[in-house]
Amino acid sequence: MGDKRQLTFDEIKEKFPDALKNGNIYVCYQAQINHVTGRLAGAEALMRWEDPDHGPQYPADFIPFLEQADLIFKADLFVFREVCALQNYCRNRNIPLVPISVNMSRYDIYNNNQYVEEIEKIRREYGIPVDMLRIEITESSAIGGTKLITSVLEHLHQIGYVVEMDDFGAGYSSLNILKDLNVDIIKLDMNFLNGEIGGRGGTIISSMVQMTKWLNTPVIAEGVETLEQADYMSSIGCYYIQGYLYSKPIKRTEFLELAGKYDHEPQYSGKGLLNDIDSGKFWNPDSMETLLFNNFVGPAAIFTYENGKIEFMRVNTKFVKEIGAEAVDKTALNIGLEQMDETGSKIYEQTIKKAIETREEEECETWIDVSSRCCGDDRLCIRSHMRLIGTAGDQYIFYVRIRNITAERLQYIYLEDNEKKFRMAIEQNNAFAWEYDIATKKMRPCSRCRRELGLPEVLENYPEPMIENGFFPAESADMYRRWHKELAEGKDHLEAIIPLTEDRIPFIVRYTAEFDEAGRPYKAYGSATEVKGYNMAWHKSNSSNNDKGK
């Protein structure tokens, strides 16, 4: 009966549970083909809804409603289950199949951090190998911060999922997303080209493909409708095609039939290498790639490694800035293993070798010597993230992102140095030391106190915790409390012999206060040193005089 029309929000909410049960919601599959080899490489699972009263509903219409109604999580898990069931069906009958991608809505992670756990439950229930399933995320998942999506991504990667970035290329900002989100495959939407290839749209697309090659990420072109488009895409290095040209999204049985007709592409294993990297635009300073390289990625460079030598071939402007060099590429290009000290160059080379072996991004920190006209000679600590992106003969080509962490490192070394001196001085004097914040009554014990007395980093409401735990004996407690009052009132020095610990060992306890610019007391430094051979019994009868202020 009924008229063919789009379901309203309320109808969607109401009909959803039954639609799932009755099979009105189901899954279609769209093939992904390697246009060069003509082999089937994968497929995408797409949700469909056929309403018995009002006819087919379109994902573009109903998915947003499901998201608003908080139903998308259920829907996506349904799709995931269907895909697992299909993989299981094929495996049980020895029918070879390709990996299938499912779409993850950003609401799946916003509203529910159970997404990964839930899909894992389903996957394990069917016993499907993780490399037969892929997850598509969209750039918009990163809206509102990349933290959440990054942690989901990491979790998926840990398990072994290949993660695809859907609808890449909808805006220039996408390139920024790529450096934050470590996705394995990129899906470029051809629709934003509006059918135009060549011209400006083509230039952008070809540059994007080139960029993704630098990042070593395979690309799938989506929405490819014509042979011309497919040929163009593969001519610029994007071989995987998903679109009406090869197949519309089709029902399970039809898809199995289609899958049976094609040879299957060998499984995608990690990021591929490019071997034609030195060709053409890659090295051309006027190319679009260079423009993107300079503007849309952080401090980065391309260097080559050959017979134990590295040579920087390309650095972007941010790279030059990051190492504080003047905007003369030459300076930046002059970083080689020679500019590092012996340990540094060893570490760098080890990292290079590791990156060659693992084909993963590897990380290291090294000190380099740079000299520039403005600042003279300088030593910088650089953190590098490098990844092998290509080989040419004996040459290995690397893409490296860097960060200048000199300030952080120096601060750390300074702190570590001070802490070490402090600790040594204290331990030589056989003392315990602590810092008392007069306003907040917080006490920060030295590392020896923490180690030997089992104290935490900070004690609140000092000195009460140390009295409570019996370290300061009850008979000295009031005197010790009075001290802290006096410190707050401006006393600058306090000293007394106090029996400490359950064993009542005599310690000389001292406080020296520090004042702020207005003359208000704000910190006091305490120490306790054991007094050998001191007679506590004698002390007890004299303790009232021991508290000598200054």
What are the residues binding ligand C2E (CB under 6 A)?
30, 46-47, 58-60, 63, 72, 76, 79, 103, 105, 166-167, 191, 222-225, 243-244, 249
Q: Which of 432, 450, 434 is CA-nearest to residue 529?
A: 432
Q: Whole-number minimum distance, CB 378 to Ca ion, in Å?
A: 47
For residue 34, what are its two tokens?
Answer: 């390697």
Using the structure block, give the residue that is written with the tokens 């499901």.
66
Report the distance separating Cα 275 and Cα 268, nearest Å: 17
In the set 76, 167, 289, 362, which binds Ca ion (CB under 5 A)? 167
Q: Which of residues 203-262 bind Ca ion (CB under 5 A)?
A: 222
Q: In terms of CB distance, is 244 or 414 closer to ligand C2E?
A: 244
Q: In terms of CB distance, is 224 or 497 closer to ligand C2E?
A: 224
Q: Whole-number minimum distance, CB 58 to Ca ion, in Å?
A: 14
Q: For 21-51, b where at least 16 C-beta lie within 10 A, e where not — what string?
A: eeebbbbbbbbbbbbeeeebbbbbbbbbbeb
Cα angle 151, 48, 21 (rounded to 5 degrees) comes to 90
Q: In terms of CB distance, is 149 or 388 closer to ligand C2E?
A: 149
Q: In terms of CB distance, is 102 or 431 closer to Ca ion?
A: 102
Q: Whole-number minimum distance, CB 195 to ligand C2E, in Å?
A: 10
Dmax over CA atoms of the chain, in Å, equals: 105
Q: Which of residues 82-111 bind Ca ion (CB under 5 A)?
A: 103
User: Which entry of Ca ion, ligand C2E, none binds 225, CB below 5 to 8 A by partner kind?
Assistant: ligand C2E
Q: In terms of CB distance, is 222 or 289 closer to Ca ion?
A: 222
Q: For 165-195, b where at least 16 C-beta lie within 10 A, e where not — what string?
A: bbbbbeeeebbbbbeebebbbbbbebebbee
Local structure of residue 302 (DSSP, 8 states): E
76 counts as binding Ca ion under rule CB under 5 A: no
Q: Whole-number minimum distance, CB 223 to ligand C2E, in Å?
A: 4
Q: In terms of CB distance, is 65 or 348 closer to ligand C2E?
A: 65
Within 8 A by CB and 6+ apart from 401, the residues are 179, 297, 298, 299, 300, 384, 385, 386
Q: In terms of CB distance, is 193 or 496 closer to ligand C2E?
A: 193
In this chain, which stretch among 77-85, 158-166, 309-317, 470-478 interacts with Ca ion, using CB under 5 A? Answer: 158-166
Q: Whole-number minimum distance, CB 14 to ligand C2E, in Å?
A: 20
- The DSSP code sequence of 56-75 is EE-HHHHHHHHHHTT-HHHH
Q: Whole-number minimum distance, CB 173 to Ca ion, in Å?
A: 16
Q: Whole-number minimum distance, CB 18 to ligand C2E, in Å?
A: 18
- Dihedral over Cα of 232, 233, 234, 235: its sign: positive
Residue numbers at the binding site for Ca ion (CB under 5 A): 103, 136, 166-167, 222
